[in-house]
Structure 1
């Protein structure tokens, strides 16, 4: 009989749990449940993923040892200084958990610091022993689970090559769909579906690459080439999206007529994408890609109106970028299959010096965690007999960290998994464990219960239930060599959670409101406020002449505009649209998509604004661009303050009037110009800038249309 993957993974976790308990008890180690915690939180689907997580957990435990013992040594006699130092440690860890790298390391460091600091702070004489024991038992759980996953049904990341080929195939299909749209034959719905599939495929590829580097020596040797390929894939996805947006905005142009070499261009890029798929599938690398110059019909382009020429200039620039990126991507794919993983790049990459840019959402989550911990601490100091004593504070750190990882989930979602784990553990602790007389019976009990919880909560979206179910089971049964049984112990542990849930519920409103509706409004306001600041810098100092503070502010607001649409997208599914009249899920999805389009246009504006421009032309049109900038700023300001703006038709009418006026001034200025005043490159740069400005206006009007379609009054109502 063939066992399912779910059954195999449940058996592996249950077996590792039972063996870890057996070894810890045979060594007469205190608190063997720490080894059980390591098994519960390390188990993942593949060997590479599990080993990565195991390494991060071990490193986090060792880091927590050093930090915690330092705090105990420095502040053992001053509880307030000790708490301030402890708050600084878990605050830094909490903030770093929201980053892109080593999130689990920071989570474990904070969690283990809570255990060692609380235990060591109340008993500084035994603090070192507590820290060493915690490291020993964590290492035991990691070692046992790692060995079992290696030798028993090893779940290798065998789908890595298939995931890479699938992602390349989807990008190929997305390119073809965008090209069909370019030729006025595409389907917007098909492109939207392919975009979603490509994003999911890239997420899967990124996860498998991280895991496969650990378990596959060849991939490890070529890791630089794979990471280069990974970055090129992300750039190509962005370029395809910008190209699509440019095509959609150029509604009145018959674009294929302007490009006589379009068929050859398409055949070349189509061939490159095919070669990428074949290379990743293991076929011998084909021909080296040669640069291709895409020509256009100069007479037909000159005959266009100025704004049509600007739209064409943007599209043409995007197609040239696609040519460069597809060539670079093919070279990167060839590099992953070459000996030693040599990286061949056709597009030079420029790394800017890293600058610290605070993430306001991560800071808010950090404040929430610190509020939970400090309220728990003050309740212990001034509240009399709190159930669980200092365990109350330790568990508050654990639950607070869980909320940092999933701030969108309401506290009520924690009730069921916690209650399930407590109920199972209590029944076994009171009625079954007193009947056991040897580890054989206890081991079978631990194995069966762990298997049941892992099997019932095997789906990825049930990670929360699995983690809390296993945690509560481990805490309630409290296995030790000198086992005692007391109903009071179960009741005391159970009483901890209503108090903690009360504290956590309060922090959903204070110091920041974490309800989905209020958080979404806050993210919207920040997005448009940052957009307003970015637009206000257009026409000012270039990035080279700006002060360090101005560059930092621009980088901060650019990062806000780039990341907030995705953050908003994670909150909107948790909004109950049934209680909000005049709001549908489709409207919210459209709003996020249009915010992302506006972000793309703003990025293009700031990438191209510092190109060399004809001074006389910019001088003649300075007043017109100033009027445009002020009008766009006003719209951003209205949206950031009230989510209220003129109707979309009124905005479009204003945009059309401005466009007509500006086109007349451009024609007049160009008629007065000479060849010496306007070089070919300056003309191209001017039309690119003009096209991007028009794109920003169109994207902002689309955003305003989406906002105008939603009734925001219900969002601002107070609910408890």
Structure 2
């Protein structure tokens, strides 16, 4: 019997070969058609190569849209200010600043990145006639379209990776994670001890973010998914709400009395838990194309007699837990209905889909305005250098500075490493330009060079975290060599452009520190201060009558607080703790966790206020007492004085506040009905929860060496 041999390539090898093949084909088509800049089409291939077909097409469409928008702005800029140098620079700075601003608030970050890049790049060409600039813009659009189409075709026909195939499995994995978090919270409620469920929140958030990306790609790949995209988006939105509700519930469990079994208050808690878990299981079975039974809903039964025997602040805690449990049960049931509509949608459901839900909704903040100012100032600094010094690159130096500022906004960059990687890319391009390119006799040899170079570089820098290094290694060759059908060699022009790129990168790194340092520890401090300023504004707005509020505080202030907490976590993850060893990564993680806890406590407070809009005289006075002490605790943190709020002082004030809570709720229970008492007790319990979260945050701040983070480093 002859032995059988099998050979299979790894995923990085397959994807690298696909990128190299698409690069060679694209260059051949562009040169065969006699287009003026075939390297532009190859650049499109280099940047749209993604792991799956849908992601590649999606990014390609975004690049094409950004190219159209940027090309239109370039035409407008040249048409209006071609003869006025200062007005032209002003227009460039406005376009770059606005593009960066849109990158910070829009879902379509890459579209605005390409818009800013293309508008500067095309406007920097100096045409003899208006027809030339128009032809240049149309050439850029058609060559970008060629690169997108060729790579999409190659990725579809050769080793295709489909996002749609894993969409259901990804939802099942998320539901399983949420079920584990649910079981952990139930265990925590019974045992009054940490069950590790808080660690699952990060995994849930990661899976939800991944789901949005996969769905965007799957809509492009399969018409069946695109047809019911409204239900898919509602499903992901419901999982987000369930994730948030689980976290709110977990936060409220820390205040439960340890000596009271949960079964004494919630009589049918076991049946209630089993029904929710069964509903999640049946939802997962539906997505796995396995028929299951219809889950039965169970209402939570509360022993009102036992609840009435507790102290008022304990009743407030149990009321918060009850509200969270009922909210979770409603979301799980709604999620199951949505999955039923996806698995076997009636024809009417396709035409009557839910309102479109956006994956990202980010209000503008200080970082948005700083990005706008950074783009504006960066262009002017580069323009003054170009006009009065006239360094290498001439006007293209200004363009390269703008591109580096855009890159810094797209993702945090370690500028020293980026400078080294781009220098290596330029050196590699120089070696190929001098010693290899002149010896190529035809496109067949050039295609071999493009295929080999792209495949090797993409295989080396395969990991997603090395994407910036991959671009820094391949793009200098495509930009500087700029191969054409009639190739001309000018090493002086090559060296001039290469030096301009490196000098512009240095300028971009310097401008990135305006108007404040972008070092991770400095940004983390800024975001923490901003978080507490937002919390302070929330308290100020919440004390105003609803008719006097300019906007819904739940939709604006709370969203900003959650975004700031997320930003603090991302910047904290970028800190080099070897250079700053005084504060460990565990301490920083605890700090970020306390911010998330405070944000969720304020979310619970906002929901409770909405359910209790009318305050009686005594009750309103006690509410203002809570708001005063919370505001006094937050104020030093909002101004960066993190050491000035000792946890002991906050803890000493808590018994007096709890005594006032007991007195206030005793008066409310005598004057109002059951529903009013439940609403008011829940609201005061939320104020107490916010205050306790601030005490926890103060304890964490005590162990921090804040001065180390404040020190300037070079």
Q: Verify: 1:50 aligned to 2:49, yes or no.
A: no
Q: CA contact under 8 A between 1:221 and 1:341: conserved in structure 2?
A: no
* Distance 1:76-1:508 versus aligned 2 partners, 3 A rule: closer
Which residue pairs with 1:145 in the alignment? 151
**TM-score after normalising by structure 1:** 0.93
Q: State the partner residue of 1:649.
A: 648
Alpha-carbon separation, structure 1, partners of 2:183 and 2:405: 47
Do structure 1's residue 710 and structure 2's residue 704 form an aligned pair? Answer: yes
For residue 477 of structure 2, the aligned residue among 455, 473, 480 is 473
Give distance in 1, aligned partners of 2:604 and 2:656: 24
CA displacement at 1:124 relative to structure 2: 4.5
Counterpart mapping for 1:298-697 below 5 A = 298-339=304-345, 357-384=363-390, 386-406=391-411, 408-542=412-546, 545-548=547-550, 551=551, 556-580=556-580, 582-612=582-612, 615=615, 618-641=616-639, 642-667=641-666, 669-670=667-668, 673=670, 677-697=671-691
- SS in structure 2 of the partner of residue 191 of structure 1: coil
Q: CA deviation at 1:13?
A: 0.8
Aligned residues: 701
> Aligned partners of 1:127, 1:496: CA distance in 2, in Å?
23
Moved more, 62-71 or 227-236: 62-71
| TM-score, L = length of structure 2 | 0.93
Q: How many Å apart are 1:272 and its aligned residue?
A: 0.3
* 2:532–2:638 Cα contact (<8 Å) kept: yes
Query: 1:603 and 1:316, CA in 2 relative to 1: closer, same or farther beyond 3 A?
Result: same
Per-residue CA deviation, residues 593-644 of structure 1 (Å, 9 max, x unaligned), is 11111111111212221334675xx312333332221111111101112112
**Could you tell me how far apart the structure 1 residues matched to 2:461 and 2:257 are?**
50
| CA 1:423–1:126: 2 relative to 1, 3 Å | same
Unaligned residue ranges in structure 2 (runs of 5+): 1-6
2:255 maps to 249
Contact 2:279 2:333 in 1 (8 A): yes
Shift of 1:219: 1.3
1:12-51 map, 5 Å: 12-51=18-57
Asked whether the 8 Å contact 1:591–1:703 carries over to 2, the reply is yes
Per the TM alignment, residue 556 of structure 1 is displaced from its structure 2 partner at its CA by 4.3
User: 1:200 maps to what in 2?
Assistant: 206
Structure 1 residues 119, 660: CA separation in 2 closer, same or farther (over 3 Å shift)? same
Aligned to 2:188: 181
Asked if 1 retains the 8 angstrom alpha-carbon contact of 2:106 and 2:361, the reply is no
Q: How far off is 1:327 after superposition? A: 0.6
In structure 2, do the counterparts of structure 1 residues 202 and 557 end up closer, same or farther at CA, with 3 Å as the change threshold? closer
SS at match of 1:397: helix
Match of 1:7 among 6, 13, 34: 13
CA distance in 1 between counterparts of 2:248 and 2:335 reads 18
In 2, the alpha carbon distance for the partners of 1:355 and 1:175 equals 27
Q: 1:410 to 1:122 in 2, by over 3 A?
A: farther
For residue 355 of structure 1, report the CA deviation from its aligned partner. 11
- 2: distance between equivalents of 1:24 and 1:681? 73
Q: How does 1:125-140 map to 2 (within 5 A)?
A: 126-140=132-146
Q: 1:578 to 1:323 in 2, by over 3 A?
A: same
Q: Deviations over 1:128-177 (max 9, x none)?
A: 11111111211111111111111111111222221121111111111111
CA distance in 1, matches of 2:672, 2:128: 77
Residue in structure 1 matched with residue 177 of structure 2 by the alignment: 170
Deviations 1:455-513 (A, max 9, x none): 11111101101112111121232212222223323321221134223312322332222
Instruction: Give 1:349 shift.
Output: 9.1
Distance 1:342 1:594, change over 3 A: farther
Greater displacement, 245-254 / 270-279? 245-254
- With 603-612 and 262-271 compared, the bigger mean Cα shift is at 603-612
Deviations 1:241-277 (A, max 9, x none): 0111111222434323211111110111111011111
| Structure 1 residue aligned with 2:4 | none
Question: Equivalents in 2 of 1:27, 1:206: separation in Å?
Answer: 39
* 8 Å CA contact 1:388, 1:496 repeated in 2: yes
More off after superposition, 57-66 vs 591-600 = 57-66
In structure 1, what is the Cα distance between the partners aligned to 2:356 and 2:219? 26
**Superposition pairs of residues 243-322 of structure 1, within 5 angstroms:** 243-252=249-258, 253-284=260-291, 286-287=293-294, 289=295, 291-322=297-328
CA deviations on 1:358-408 (whole Å, 9 max, x unpaired) are: 322122123223322222222111113x112222222222222111111x3
Q: CA deviation at 1:303?
A: 0.6
How far residue 580 of structure 1 moved from its aligned partner, in angstroms, is: 3.5
SS at 2:643 equivalent: coil
Distance in 2 between the 1:178 and 1:444 partners? 59
Two-structure CA RMSD over aligned residues (Å)? 2.4
The offset of 1:123, in angstroms, is: 6.4
Deviation at 1:581, TM superposition (A): 5.4
1:454 Cα deviation from its structure 2 partner: 0.6
Deviates further, 578-587 or 455-464: 578-587
- The alpha-carbon deviation at position 645 of structure 1 amounts to 2.9
Structure 1: how far apart are the matches of 2:236 and 2:552? 28
Measured against aligned partners, the alpha-carbon deviations of 1:310-340 in whole angstroms (never above 9, x if no partner) come to 0001000101111111110111111111235
Cα separation, 2, equivalents of 1:343 and 1:183: 42
Decide whether aligned partners of structure 1 residues 701 and 125 sit closer, same or farther in structure 2, where only a CA change above 3 A counts.
same
Contact 2:404-2:505 within 8 A present in 1 as well = no
For residues 465 and 278 of structure 2, the distance between their equivalents in structure 1, rounded to whole angstroms, comes to: 39
Alpha-carbon spacing, 1:439–1:579, altered in 2? closer, same or farther (3 Å): closer
Take 1:613 and 1:203, find their aligned partners in 2: how far apart are those partners?
35
- Per-residue CA deviations over 1:33-87 (Å, capped at 9, x if unaligned) read 1011110111101111111111111122122222221222222222222232333
Equivalents in 1 of 2:170, 2:362: separation in Å?
34
Distance 1:31 1:524 in 2: 48
